[in-house]
Amino acid sequence: MSDSGAQRRPIVAGNWKMNTTIDEGLALVDALLPLIGSESAVDRVVCPPFISVQAISERLKGSEIGVGAQNLYFEAKGAFTGETSAAMLAGLVTYVIVGHSERRHVFGESDVVVKKKVWAALGAGLTPILCVGETLAERDAGETEMVLRRQVRSALEGLTDTAGLVIAYEPVWAIGTGRAATSADANAGNAIVRDELAQVLGQDVAAATRIQYGGSVTPANAVELLGQPDIDGALVGGASLVADSFAAIVKAAATA
Ligand code: PGA
């Protein structure tokens, strides 16, 4: 399934990963506010490290820039040292990244864990940004489509209310490598995700759900990537740490 995407408002999110102290994060949003604070054709989100979430949320209060967390744990509370629950994040953030490839591949999160996290986020009224994507070995083995369909189905099957869910197609080999997918490959991945979404949750949800592309998005390739019909925004790592770069990507989304 593919369509024009005209009804979907683009969403560009910055995943700061394990970068920025609290002061550095505040300086980054202070620099972003005049650049993209009123770029209202695009939903703009920053995802700072947990330690900075409260300070950044305070600083952005009253602005149109949303805040997301980079992770959560699915249990409600208890003896889970170092973890953060959905309830702890509710009220502080609107979004939460779930199943990022670094969580899956560095920290060993399975499809089952990712599913529990998506459901916990939705249950607390948070909007998950669910990340899916194949590794280079999976792509080389011709398994891209199978992997994407499995990750989408596993996380979402059975949901009755997706409440604005966002999905990010992030080929693992494109993340942090400077080697973005071609716009054709990126759009093809997003189209597979949308098709599986239609099969799992129905055409209406698939047509309404925003699917980002992520993996080495920069101001130089953003216009081309974001101009693709099934790409509804970007999840940006490295380039989100530089205010001018992130702003340029937001502006590319506004014009795409
Ligand atoms: P990158 O990271 O833009 O640095 O490739 C993207 C991501 O991991 O979300």
Q: Phi-psi bin for 20: left (phi > 0), alpha (psi -120 to 50), beta?
A: left
Q: What is the C-alpha to C-alpha distance for residues 178 and 159, in angstroms, rounded to an integer?
A: 35
The answer to whether residues 240 and 212 touch, using CB atoms and an 8 Å cutoff, is no
By most ligand atoms within 8 Å of CB, the mutation choice from 11, 12, 15 for ligand 1 is 15
| Residue 33 CA, ligand 1 centroid: distance in Å | 22
Is 170 part of the annotated catalytic residue set? yes
Residue with the smallest CA separation from ligand 1 atom 1 is 237
Give me the pLDDT at residue 4, please: 56
Give me the pLDDT at residue 56, please: 98
Catalytic annotation, pick one of 102, 109, 170, 196 = 170
Give me the pLDDT at residue 7, please: 80
| Residue 238 CA, ligand 1 centroid: distance in Å | 6
Tell me which residues have their CB closer than 6 angstroms to ligand 1: 15, 170, 175-176, 214-217, 235-239
Q: What is the C-alpha to C-alpha distance for residues 256 and 248, in angstroms, rounded to an integer?
A: 12
Residue with the smallest CA separation from ligand 1 atom 7 is 237
Which are the contacts of 170, defined by CB distance < 8 A and separation ≥ 6?
100, 101, 131, 132, 133, 213, 214, 215, 235
| Residue 36 CA, ligand 1 centroid: distance in Å | 20
Which ligand 1 atom is nearest residue 215's CA? Answer: 5
Give me the pLDDT at residue 1, please: 45
pTM of the predicted protein model: 0.97
Spans in the chain with pLDDT lower than 50: 1-2
46 pairs with which residues across the strands? 14, 67
Give me the pLDDT at residue 3, please: 54
| Residue 63 CA, ligand 1 centroid: distance in Å | 25
Which ligand 1 atom is nearest residue 180's CA? Answer: 5
Determine phi and psi for 236, rounding to 5 degrees. -115, 125
Average pLDDT of the residues of the chain: 96
Q: What is the C-alpha to C-alpha distance for residues 109 and 147, in angstroms, rounded to an integer?
A: 15
Segment 56-71, tens digit of pLDDT: 999 999 999 999 999 9
Residue type, 109: E
